[in-house]
Amino acid sequence: MSKLEIRDLVVSVEGKQILNGIDLVVESGSVHAIMGPNGSGKSTLSLAIMGHPKYKVARGQVVLDGIDLLKLPVDARARAGVFLAFQYPSAIPGVSVANFLRTAINARRVSQNGDGDGQPKKNDMPIPQFRKLLAEKTKLLQVDDSFISRSVNDGFSGGEKKRLEILQMHMFQPGFAILDETDSGLDIDALKTVAEGIEALRSPTVGILLITHYERILRYVHPDFVHVLVDGKIVRTGGRELAAELEQKGYDFVREALYQGRS
């Protein structure tokens, strides 16, 4: 059993404090949905966990099985098992999806200590094994064959980009996956495929943090917990029914309840 603990996380972007103390524990095998209105800090949370240089952590900890992630560079966080499906994935012109996936898998398999001589040691995935894994995953996610020879996200439609994020998530087999508004900008068919891709990752060894603005995706991905993020704080936590309530009443309802409670 693996555990990702976020403790009192305070994050600012360009001098403006966005997260005001987030506490959240995600255990492997569970799916947590974080919902919140625009500007509530959803993307900030995901990018701060991954280590985007623009997001400055003022206070708090993100601990994965006892390791303080915030002390690690971005790539080491990825190798420790954290995967972020981006809301706005970058294009890498000239690098094919297949080559990107293979070199990334191999980069993740390098053991940093090697044989104890301090030199990193390569342990590349054999190409036939890679091909087999890729064929399996593209089939599962209904990804077209031509997709993998195109450049990463270069000229991709919104839906294609999200599919590629999900394909990467499956290829890298992370311990914890954070999905940042993976549902945004998708038509209903793409949404279903992407949601099925997320559900297919669900296993006792994987924890999922699903960040979304809309309840829509939760019709296909069934979270164990729903958290509501408002103004950089988690203000409510509940089960799936909380998502339905939000959909019905809107975020203002939570916000009003919150500020009434304060006054």
Partner 1 sequence: MPLASTPELSTVPLLLDRKTVEQHSLRRNEPEWLRASRLAALGRFTPEAWPSGQEEEWRRFPLKDLPPGPIASTLDHLPGIQFKLDADAIAAGVIFKGLTRAALDNPQLVRPHITNGDGISSHAAFRAAADALWSAGSTFVHVPAGVEVRQPLVLDKAWPASDEAMLSRTILVAERDSSVVLVEDLSSEGEAPRLAIPHVEVHVGAGARVWYVGIRRWAPGVLDLGFQRFRSARDSELRSLNVFAGQGRSKVGIESDIEGDGATVKLFGLVAAGDSQRIDVNSFQSLDGRASQSDLLYLSALYERAKAIFYGKIRVEPTSHGTGSYQECRNMLLSDKAGADPIPVLEILTNDVVRCGHGATAGALSDEELFYAMSRGFDRDAAQQLLVHGFFRRVINELKDEHVRQRVLNAVRPRIGNIAEMGVLE
Binding site for partner 1 (CB under 8 A): 50-54, 73-75, 77-79, 83-84, 86, 89-96, 98-100, 102-104, 107-108, 127, 149, 151-152, 168, 172
In the block, residue with structure tokens 């966005």: 18
- Strand 3-13 relative to strand 55-64, pairing: antiparallel
- Dihedral angle computed from the Cα positions of residues 202, 225, 194 and 83, in that order, rounded to the nearest 10 degrees: -70
**Nearest residue (CB) to partner 1, 1 versus 127:** 127
Q: Could you tell me the smallest distance in angstroms from the CB atom of residue 105 to partner 1?
A: 8
Q: Could you tell me the smallest distance in angstroms from the CB atom of residue 135 to partner 1?
A: 12
DSSP string, 9-44: EEEEETTEEEEEEEEEEEETT-EEEEE--TTSSHHH
**Nearest residue (CB) to partner 1, 178 versus 198:** 178
Q: Could you tell me the smallest distance in angstroms from the CB atom of residue 62 to partner 1?
A: 14
**Nearest residue (CB) to partner 1, 94 versus 261:** 94
Q: Could you tell me the smallest distance in angstroms from the CB atom of residue 101 to partner 1?
A: 9
**224: exposed, middle or buried (C-beta count within 10 Å: 0-12, 13-18, 19+)?**
middle
Q: Could you tell me the smallest distance in angstroms from the CB atom of residue 126 to partner 1?
A: 12
Long-range contacts of 124-132 (CB under 8 A, 24+ apart): 127/102, 130/101, 130/102, 130/105
**Nearest residue (CB) to partner 1, 100 versus 156:** 100
**Nearest residue (CB) to partner 1, 22 versus 152:** 152
Asked if 25 and 44 touch (Cβ cutoff 8 Å), the reply is no
